[in-house]
Amino acid sequence: MAYGNGRNKDLVKRMVELGTLPISAELSDLRTRILSAIEVMAKSIWPDDILMPIPHGKDIDAVMLKVQSELSKSGLNSVWGEKARLLAKAAVLEQWNRAQRLLFGKLRNIGALGDTPMADGTMRLVILPEQFSRLLEKDDIDQLLTVAASRDFAGTLRLFRNLASSDCGLPAIQAEALRAMTASVRDRFGCPEWKQDATIQLHLDYRCLRGGKAALASILGSLGSTLAQRSSIKLDLALTGVSPRQDPISVPLRVVRAVSRTISRHGIGDISVGSLLTELAPSHVRPKMVVVRAPAAPTVAGCRTVVAEDFGFTNTSSIVVLRSRAPIGEEALSRISGHNGGDVKKLTKAQAKLFLEKHVTGDDVEVLETAQFDGRDFLSRVSSHGAKVDRLRSEIDRLYNRLDRIRSEINVVSSVEAGAIVPEVAAMPDNPRYMAMHSRFFRLLAAVGRLKEARRAVYRTVAGLKKSWFGYVAQRKADLAAKHDAVVVTEDLDILAVPTDHPTYKGRTFNKMINNGSKGQYILRSKNTLTWRGIGSVKIPSFYTSSTDWRMERSTSIKGAGKSFGQRLMDASGTPTCTPLR
């Protein structure tokens, strides 16, 4: 694996592109063969029912290794067969786990209601198919929530498995609702598929290269020397052929001087290249390297300058750089140690308020610089994409309703159960009415697939927007810390969604796009950036971090917020001179 296959977890890592080039015929053939192998291997271990317990990894490998052996006999090089096996195994386990976790979560949140009532005024139970919003009473929902609370993850899955053969002591309508919920999850999570436009990422070990360990060590050493010298280099990577004894596949590598300088400038300590990988897309190949170094141990004690940030739900970062006359002491670090993994109990809200009331926040601290990165444009872009998703979802729901009606008519004509699945091969080819409905059914079903793909594309776009914005803000914060030789102070925040009655709430879709881990994503990205650049950081309790010092009323609010935010890290003495405003 590119990140060490579980080894060297204590190293700091960065992935760096080594150019993009058109895919050659040999690489295209390799990509096609690996995609085919992945699909075969995934199907070999995909369960008959997603409710089945997930087996141990060795049991899965025992099945997949037999398939890998058969693929090797058909001419696929064993090393590429192994890469396909690892990709297929990871995808299947992730899909399997996601399905079971989703079912567990659905039961725990079965009482969740939509934002607006349906046409008849009934509030929609968003977890369940629409008809159950009218069939289930409040007592039914309360009983199902009690059932959910009384079972752990394994017990919940056993309940769903047992519902296939009995009602498990539940009223019939409740049992039917849970079966419908299970069916929706089964329909959503099938065996992973890799489309023709898929990009596959291959982590390269010595067996993937012609020349083995010596060739890999030589290339890694050359790339590492190039980074150390802040220079440029062009190399040729000779991949093992698709089949045994075939000619190697050439993949050019290129490191430009600007990339070397950037990595060397932002990385602290001795940098080396740990591993290589390549991404194969239908039209291009993108080789990459993983740059590693030992983590720095930046000291916080004794520092006089801090960069304090308040990152809010509007995705706006307000930053102030503060310099104290007295250096940060052990007393301050001990006071907040519970928020940095220490054994000391975390500071309570009352203790934080008392500290702010009793310490000087003016003369002992100097504001060096302020900055604010406004996230309103970012949120506006996300909101527009959320509207697209809502339109697509509405169209998908409309088509599903039409499909249900057509399916009922088809099943009446063919004299089968109303809820039976419509076969892809027409059961009554001599019946004109049946054939017309059958053809229309699958045209609409194909349209649903296209709409779902369009919806997934919107979500990918939003993910890219979030990655870009969070990365930009994290880099600018790190730049300020490097400029002033400062440590970074961040809030110890809980990751919460915007409640429906909050003024900034813009609908379920927007809420999901922004708050589904977005602040956690930013915190993680910021932490990784600071760690790579060797900048110290500490977390403090979030209580009153947006309070304003009364002496800053005639200045910008960002300075007031920053002073009350950063002051907690400073050791202060003297009589209290102010009380922070709420």
Q: What pLDDT, on a 0 to 100 scale, did the predictor assign at position 26?
A: 93
CA 235 and chain centroid, separation: 34
**pLDDT band at residue 176, thresholds of 50, 70 and 90?**
very high
Q: Which of 161, 195, 153, 191 is nearest to 178 (CA)?
A: 161
E-strand stretches of 447-543: 487-492, 537-541
Confidence of residue 339 (pLDDT cuts 50, 70, 90): low
Query: Given this model, what pLDDT does residue 28 score?
Result: 93
Least confident segment among 280-294, 311-325, 342-356: 342-356
Task: Give the separation between CA 412 and CA 430, rounded to whole angstroms.
Answer: 16
Per residue in 306-318, pLDDT (tens digit) is 898 887 767 788 8
Cβ atoms within 10 A of the Cβ of 580, count? 21
What's phi and psi for 346, nearest 5 deg?
Answer: -65, 145
| Confidence category of residue 96, pLDDT binned at 50, 70, 90 | very high
Q: What pTM value is reported for the model?
A: 0.73
Separation of alpha carbons 18 and 570, rounded Å: 44
pLDDT category of residue 300 using cuts at 50, 70 and 90: confident
d(CA 530, CA 294): 14
Task: Supply the pLDDT for residue 207.
Answer: 93
**pLDDT at residue 359 in the model:** 65
Which pLDDT tens digit goes with each residue over 203-232? 999 999 999 999 999 999 999 999 888 899
pLDDT in tens, 435-490: 999 999 999 999 999 999 999 999 889 888 888 888 899 999 999 998 998 988 88
The Cα–Cα gap between 40 and 281 comes to 20
What is the token pair recorded at 400?
A: 């599903």
Does the pLDDT at position 40 exceed 50?
yes
Average pLDDT over residues 29-37: 94
Q: What is the pLDDT at residue 264? A: 76
Top-ranked range on mean pLDDT: pick from 5-9, 250-254, 412-416: 250-254
Q: Write out pLDDT tens, residues 366-423.
A: 888 888 888 888 888 888 888 898 899 889 988 988 988 898 899 888 888 877 788 8
What is the number of alpha carbons within 13 Å of residue 112 lying toward its C-beta? 12
Q: Residue ranges per domain, the chain?
A: 12-97+195-293, 109-188, 305-375+469-569, 378-458
- The span from the CA of 61 to the CA of 55, in Å, is 10
Which range, 102-106, 380-384, 522-526, is most confident? 102-106
**For residue 576, what are the contacts with CB-CB under 8 A and spacing of at least 6?**
357, 358, 359, 360
| Buried residues in 202-212 as b, exposed as e (16+ CB within 10 A) | bbbbeebbeee
Helix or strand or coil: residue 385?
Answer: helix
| pLDDT value at residue 99 | 93
* DSSP 3-state of 215: helix
Taking 70 as the threshold, does the pLDDT of residue 7 lie above it? no
Residue 260 has pLDDT above 90, yes or no: no
Structure tokens at 75: 């001419």
Return the CATH architecture of domain 305-375+469-569: 2-Layer Sandwich (3.30)
Which pLDDT score, from 0 to 100, does residue 576 have? 31
Q: Phi first, then psi: give them for residue 436, nearest 5 degrees.
A: -65, -45
Is residue 367 classed as helix, strand or coil in its secondary structure? Answer: strand
What amino acid occupies position 233?
Answer: I
Q: Return the residue matching tokens 């990988």.
A: 277
> Side chain identity at 311, as an amino acid letter?
F
Quick one: DSSP state of residue 168? T
Give me the torsion for CA of 43, 47, 50, 54, rounded to 10°: -110
pLDDT at 556 over 60: no
CB neighbour list of residue 207: distance below 8 Å, 6 or more residues apart:
79, 240
- Write the CA distances from 249 to 33, 86, 278, 282, 301, integer angstroms: 14, 22, 12, 16, 53
Q: Which residue has the tokens 């490998």?
A: 61
User: Is residue 449 left, alpha or beta, with left meaning phi > 0 and alpha meaning psi from -120 to 50?
Assistant: alpha
Range 189-209 average pLDDT: 91
**Looking at 214-223, 332-341, 561-570, which range is the least confident one?**
561-570
**Residues 539, 540, 541, CA angle at the centre, nearest 5°?**
130
Amino acid code (one letter) for 457: A
Give, rounded to a whole angstrom, the gap between the first and last alpha carbons of the chain: 51
CA distances from 242 to 276, 282, 486 (A): 18, 17, 52
User: d(Cα 123, Cα 216) in Å, to the nearest integer?
Assistant: 62
Q: Please name the residues in contact with 441: beta carbons below 8 A apart, sequence gap of 6 or more.
A: 403, 406, 407, 410, 422
Q: What percent of the chain has pLDDT over 90?
A: 38
Judged against a pLDDT cut of 90, whether residue 84 lies above it is answered with: yes
Query: Beta strand 487-492 with 537-541: parallel, antiparallel or unpaired?
Result: parallel
Mean pLDDT of 554-571: 45
Task: For residues 40 and 285, give the distance between their C-alpha atoms in angstroms, rounded to a whole number.
Answer: 24
Position 558 pLDDT exceeds 60: no
User: Counting runs of H as helices and runs of E as strands, what totals does the chain give?
Assistant: 16, 14
Query: Alpha-carbon distance 335 to 366, whole Å?
Result: 22
The reported pLDDT for the residue numbered 220 is 93
The pLDDT score that the predictor gives to residue 4 is 46
Sort strands 12-17 and 284-293 into parallel, antiparallel or unpaired: antiparallel
Higher pLDDT, 2 or 87: 87
Q: Which of 482, 520, 18, 44 is nearest to 284 (CA)?
A: 18
Taking residue 179's Cβ as centre, other Cβ atoms within 10 Å add up to 14
Residue 559 has what pLDDT?
40
| % of the chain exceeding 70 in pLDDT | 82
- DSSP secondary-structure letter at 494? -
Across all residues in the chain, what is the average pLDDT? 81
- The whole-number pLDDT of residue 120 equals 74
